Amino acid sequence: MKKPVESAPPLDLKRSLAMFEDAQRLTPGGVGGIRRPYNFVVGEYPIFITKGYGGHIVDVDGNDYIDMLCAYGPIILGYVEPEINDAVKARMDDGFCFSLVQPIQNELEERLADVLPCGEQTIIVKTGSDATNAAVRAARAYTGREVIARCGYHGWGDWCVENPGGIPQAVQDLTKEFHYGSIEDLERVFAENDGRVACVIITPVGHPLAAPVMPPPPGYLEAVKELTHRHGAVLIFDEVRTGFRVAMGGAQERYGVTPDLATVGKAMANGYPIAAVVGSREVLSVYEKAAFLSSTFFPNSLEMVAAMTCMDILEREKVQDVIWERGTAFLEKLGRIVDDSGVPVSMSGIPPMPFLWFDKADEHYKARRTDFYTQCIRRGLFVQPYHHWYICYRHTEEDLARALEVVEESLAYVGERYPRA
């Protein structure tokens, strides 16, 4: 008789939970947004991390994990990259925050324009939300229109935030959603808002929350571009996640469709806070006079140094090729594990961004999902129930092999606990 799969023992999280209890006194919710415990498995996941190395993180209780969430995407290389940190430290000696800009800003803007196929001009900002907000504002100023057609997660701006609390209904009504992969649904948005759509903003790889990750169907991005331009709107690719990860020039390079504007961030500087809008000189020229964009900290140079050094490493070591190769092998093995498990779960994603999705048609899907991720974290694999995973450059072959073992063991446990009829 086959030996049953036992549950892994709970982790020691005493310090993390105690710090979270204190944190709730200090800030609303204890920690912000997507880092709150209810986005993981309450009581099973750590809340405070003390350090990282390579493709691993260590929590305040000393538990070590293979990290395949990668700080929600910025860690493209690995934690604590000496070459990047040394370059940043050297910049500190001459100062990094001034009333005026520093020469490295020109260098970085030119490099981004060279790397991304849509590149003509560049605006440097700090976060992905900064970038998507700036791109949408540029499109509205350029077209003189107000309606935004969106597909995907684009940050916490009033026009796109997932939780509409505090957002006037009039603002919400100016954003129209359409489904990824359906050109007919985008046609519907244009038909219902004829002559009013300023831009289409879309994640070129579909990665909705808690749903399968989809590469673009053949011809889809080309059709989106043609339809957007036919209606006189601006096409924006939100490449905050895919930029520098699926290819050096992002998804637009890999899939061969060039937007008017693109937003990048996350992997651009391996964790340092920087993002950018890159694209059409004609559209971005609105920021000369017709529209306004400014921040005290946008010109800070530490992050620019980090971005330049990160791009040096990405190009020199052909990092995207390595990640794509490892990710392809990972997905193939993951697919076999899923097929053999008998659990109603599906594999999705692209090699740099895998994901397991529990079928919501299954009455036990929430319980299966909770138990699966509980077993994963107890076994030392840090992934998130509602967000796709990432493969970074410093994930070793041993890390990825162990991650697959954890997935296999966890699915086997779930399959035994909730056998299918």
pLDDT in tens, 231-242: 999 999 999 999
Number of other residues whose CB lies within 10 A of the CB of residue 69: 18
User: Residue 362 — very low, low, confident or very high, per pLDDT cuts 50/70/90?
Assistant: confident
Residue 363 reports pLDDT greater than 90: no
Q: What confidence tens digit (pLDDT) does each residue in 85-113 have?
A: 999 999 999 999 999 999 999 999 999 99
> Is the torsion defined by CA of 346, 349, 355, 358 positive or negative?
negative
Buried b (16+ CB within 10 A) or exposed e, 370-379: bbbbbbbbbb
Going along the chain from its start, the domains and CATH numbers come out as 1-62 (no CATH), 82-316 (3.40.640.10)
- Residue 208 is predicted with a pLDDT of 82
- Residue 3 is predicted with a pLDDT of 77
Buried b (16+ CB within 10 A) or exposed e, 255-275: bebbbbbbbbbbbbbbbbbbb
Spatial separation of the C-alpha atoms in residues 142 and 232, rounded to whole Å: 11
> In the structure encoding, which two tokens stand for residue 147, read together?
């309606």
Spatial separation of the C-alpha atoms in residues 121 and 277, rounded to whole Å: 8
- Residue 133 is predicted with a pLDDT of 98
**Mean pLDDT, range 60-84, rounded to an integer:** 98
**128 closest CA partner among 300, 267, 281, 247:** 267
Q: What confidence tens digit (pLDDT) does each residue in 197-232 have?
A: 999 999 999 988 778 899 999 999 999 999 999 999
Q: What confidence tens digit (pLDDT) does each residue in 20-45 have?
A: 999 999 999 999 989 999 999 999 99
Judge whether 198 and 146 are in contact, CB under 8 Å.
yes
User: Residue 1 — very low, low, confident or very high, per pLDDT cuts 50/70/90?
Assistant: low
Q: What confidence tens digit (pLDDT) does each residue in 275-287 have?
A: 999 999 999 999 9
> In the structure encoding, which two tokens stand for residue 23, read together?
């944190």
Q: Name beta bridge partners: 150.
A: 177, 201
User: Residue 128 — very low, low, confident or very high, per pLDDT cuts 50/70/90?
Assistant: very high
Please classify residue 345 by burial: count the beta carbons closer than 10 Å to its beta carbon, then call 0-12 exposed, 13-18 middle and 19+ buried.
Answer: buried
Query: How many CA atoms lie within 13 Å of 416's alpha carbon, on the beta-carbon side?
Result: 11
Residue with tokens 């910049």: 91
Q: Is 114 helix (H, G, I), strand (E, B) or coil?
A: helix
> Is the torsion defined by CA of 5, 6, 7, 10 positive or negative?
negative
> In the structure encoding, which two tokens stand for residue 20, read together?
């979270």
Q: Percentage of the chain surpassing pLDDT 90?
A: 94
Distance, C-alpha 117 to centroid of its chain: 20
